[in-house]
Amino acid sequence: MSKIAAIKPFGQSIWLDNLSRGIIASGELAKILEEDAIAGVTSNPAIFYKSISSDPLYTGDLAELKKQDLTAEQRYEALVIPDIQATCDLTRSIYDTTKGVDGYVSLEVSPTLANDAQGTIDNAKRLWAAINRPNVMIKVPATPAGVIAFEELITSGINVNVTLMFNLTHVDNILTAYIRGLEARAAAGLPVDHVHAVASVFLSRVDSLIDPQLEAIGTPEALALRGKVALSFVKVAYQQHYKPLFHGNRFAALKALGAHPQRLLWASTGTKNKAYSDVMYVEQLIGPETVNTVPDATLALFRDHGQAAATLETGAQDAVATLVAVRNLGINYNLAGEQLQQEGLKQFDEAFVKLLDLTK
């Protein structure tokens, strides 16, 4: 068995964080879906910029689109929506077999709408209709406006991948918005059993921000916390926020109607610090009712030397102690999460501008 496929029995789904026309046409995507039990695919503006700028399979279609009276964003969507549809068709059997738990493909709304709730809602609904596949997820950011949009989209029955989550406030805001959206849907007499969402919590960027602050403090206690903050954050999010909410009283009524929990998804799982294990954000966070979306480079590393084991629920008390220790050192983790979200929004926005430059 593939070392990646060996994760599945522990209740975690592995999704691929990459998409291009080339990996679809070459059969590479279909191969890893089968051999590695990959159960979904995610994309973002940076991924599509890289794909469209380097994959020759886009060249002809882009040249034809540039002859038409379209905006740069319309040309971009005309290029990528067929890719999303084709990938949804590839993963549809997974969606059907898992009864809608897996088999999703994510496409992001325009990053320029991050602070525009109604604009995000309108853009998401338009993309949902254009793709016209039950196993697509529309990505929206976990900004205050994004939270409002997310709740409305869930009420409307649209599958959503909420992105750019970096602290426990983001987690709480999004998970409770999901429940409110389902409750509104149920109150209107609408079915809730086919609505799915994930909450994408980012990892490596957290350690990249916090580690230098720990090094600046320089005490043995501070230095011992390096590389532990992101892992501790998500373990606490899972044990103390996700599980009580979705296995507790409030969700019970929705669960009786067939509703599904909003799974936490680990994102930004490629290790940036070479001093750490190159598979740490996969290997140390394997557990039930979760998703890990992994870039192909990290998948290759795990395929080579990763070890699948139930690790997410180990060291829960140590995770709490780590976050307390970080706070006691004067590092405001919640504010760090807000900073990281703003930086992530800027990165996606810059990638989107570069992407639209390609299609002008």
Res 70 pLDDT > 90: yes
Res 271 pLDDT > 90: yes
Residue 93's pLDDT band, with cuts at 50, 70 and 90, is very high
Mean pLDDT, residues 60-77 taken together: 96
Mean pLDDT, residues 310-320 taken together: 96
Transcribe 132-151 into DSSP letters.
--TTEEEEEE-SHHHHHHHH
How far apart (Å, rounded) are the C-alpha atoms in residues 127 and 70?
A: 17
Mean pLDDT, residues 238-257 taken together: 97
Q: 246: exposed, middle or buried (C-beta count within 10 Å: 0-12, 13-18, 19+)?
A: buried
Res 333 pLDDT > 90: no
The predicted pLDDT at position 187 comes to 98
Per the CB < 8 A criterion, the answer to whether 81 and 131 are in contact is yes
Per-residue pLDDT tens for 187-219?
A: 999 999 999 999 999 999 999 999 999 999 999
The predicted pLDDT at position 1 comes to 86
Write out the H or E segment, with its range, that includes residue 187. Answer: helix 168-187
Per-residue pLDDT tens for 28-46?
A: 999 999 999 999 999 999 9
Question: How would CATH label the architecture of 5-359?
Answer: Alpha-Beta Barrel (3.20)
Percent of the chain with pLDDT over 90: 99
The predicted pLDDT at position 11 comes to 98
Q: 299: exposed, middle or buried (C-beta count within 10 Å: 0-12, 13-18, 19+)?
A: buried
pTM: 0.96
Q: Where exactly are the structural domains of the chain?
A: 5-359
Mean pLDDT, residues 86-93 taken together: 98
User: Which pairing describes strands 12-17 and 263-267: parallel, antiparallel, or unpaired?
Assistant: unpaired
Question: Annotated active-site positions, please?
Answer: 139
Helix, strand, coil abundance in the chain, percent, nearest 5: 60, 10, 30
Mean pLDDT, residues 128-146 taken together: 98
